[in-house]
Homo-oligomer: A and B are copies of this chain.
Amino acid sequence: MPRLIDLSHPLVDGQLGFPDDPGIQITVHGTIASLGYNLTKISMSSHQGTHLDAPLHFFDDGNSIDQIPLDRFYGPAWLVDLAPGTLLPPRTPITVEMLRPHEARFQPGGKVVYRTGWQQAFNTPAYFTDYPTLTLEAAEWIARRRIGLLGMDTPTPSTEWQACHHILLGPGVEIVLVEALANLDELPEQFTLIGFPLNLQGRDGSPIRAVAVVK
């Protein structure tokens, strides 16, 4: 049996999210005493916790999550560890020079997950403001390589969020972005990534349970 590694942060009532997003409420709707069973109401942003972005997030004519083939969310993936055994300091620019040694892992249609160590700031306000951040040149470098999926342990790829998403999600590029991953320090260099979105119709993103399968 292969080993499974959970790459998702826990989803907890009231935990922090992006400042402009709806908050997360995980509330008791019914109990064994009231209904005969325990039942929960879930209310959250499509970008709460570990989640993915579809092109529709930044392009009104871009694909929604249900229009993306399932194999874009499942398959062989490479880890790019930008700070082995440690972590990048807050606000570190992630440059082309830092990615270039890993160039062979950025293959057309392939899946790449990069690790900065920023997971340690999860559920603090700084998590959403001070994360290591892709330069626009690095985003262009990645976009040119036409990978199919880019995952990361930061909540979004870049503080220049609009320009960066336009590069990575734009027409003809349309990289699936998997954000706020956890436990990347447990990953080997190669693994199978599983990260299917909920089957939300016509929408921009989805919280996911991301899991690595390791032989």
Contacts and interface: CB of A to CB of B under 8 A. Distances in A.
A198 B204 contact: no
A66 B209 CA distance: 11
A201 interface: yes
Contacts of A126: none
Interface residues of A, number: 57
A197 interface: yes
A208 B29 CA distance: 19
Interface string A32-43: 100111111111
A49 interface: yes
What is the copy number of this chain in the assembly? 2
B204 A209 contact: no
Interface in A168-208: 194, 196-201, 203-205, 207-208
B39 A45 contact: yes
A166 to B, nearest CB: 10
A45 B40 contact: yes
A206 to B, nearest CB: 8
A176 to B, nearest CB: 14
A115 interface: no
